[in-house]
């Protein structure tokens, strides 16, 4: 597939979902549209379109850290699995912290 050279007309600006978006123009076709900045950065770096069914993941979890080193292309299903795992791990850690806090307050009072 041909990769069309694009220039940023405006942006990036942060949208309601916390993602940066840019308004771009394809130089050869004159086509103008908005696109998520992380997708634009990845595509510009690799000079190709993100394949159908693939998404860009922010490795550090920061949606506005759109340096190419922070961006990882993943299949949609691998991506949602990855985020499920992160969510579960976060929940588990929060639970463990709660337990530790309960134990500590019992130690202080000296009784169960």
List contacts with Zn ion (CB under 5 A). 57
Nearest to 51 by CA among 63, 43, 61, 41: 43
Smaller CB distance to Zn ion: residue 29 or 80?
Answer: 80
Smaller CB distance to Zn ion: residue 29 or 61?
Answer: 61
CA distance 33 to 100: 51
Q: Kindly state the smallest distance separating residue 77's Cβ from Zn ion, in Å.
A: 12
Q: What angle do CA 68, 72, 75 make, to 5 degrees?
A: 150
CA distance 58 to 21: 15
Smaller CB distance to Zn ion: residue 6 or 43?
Answer: 43
Q: Kindly state the smallest distance separating residue 47's Cβ from Zn ion, in Å.
A: 23
Q: Kindly state the smallest distance separating residue 94's Cβ from Zn ion, in Å.
A: 20
Q: Kindly state the smallest distance separating residue 79's Cβ from Zn ion, in Å.
A: 6
Smaller CB distance to Zn ion: residue 49 or 57?
Answer: 57
CA distance 48 to 40: 10
Strand order in the sheet with 20-26: 6-14, 20-26, 32-36
């Amino acid at each position: 597939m041909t990769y069309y050279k694009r220039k940023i007309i405006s942006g990036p600006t942060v949208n309601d979902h916390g993602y940066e978006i840019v308004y771009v123009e394809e130089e050869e076709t004159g086509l103008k549209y908005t696109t998520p900045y992380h997708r634009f950065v990845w595509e510009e770096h690799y000079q190709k379109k993100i394949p159908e069914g693939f998404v860009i993941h922010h490795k550090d979890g920061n949606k506005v850290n759109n340096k190419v080193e922070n961006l990882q292309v993943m299949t949609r299903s691998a991506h949602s699995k990855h985020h499920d795992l992160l969510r579960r791990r976060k929940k588990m850690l929060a639970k463990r912290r709660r337990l530790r806090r309960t134990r500590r307050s019992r130690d202080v009072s000296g009784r169960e």
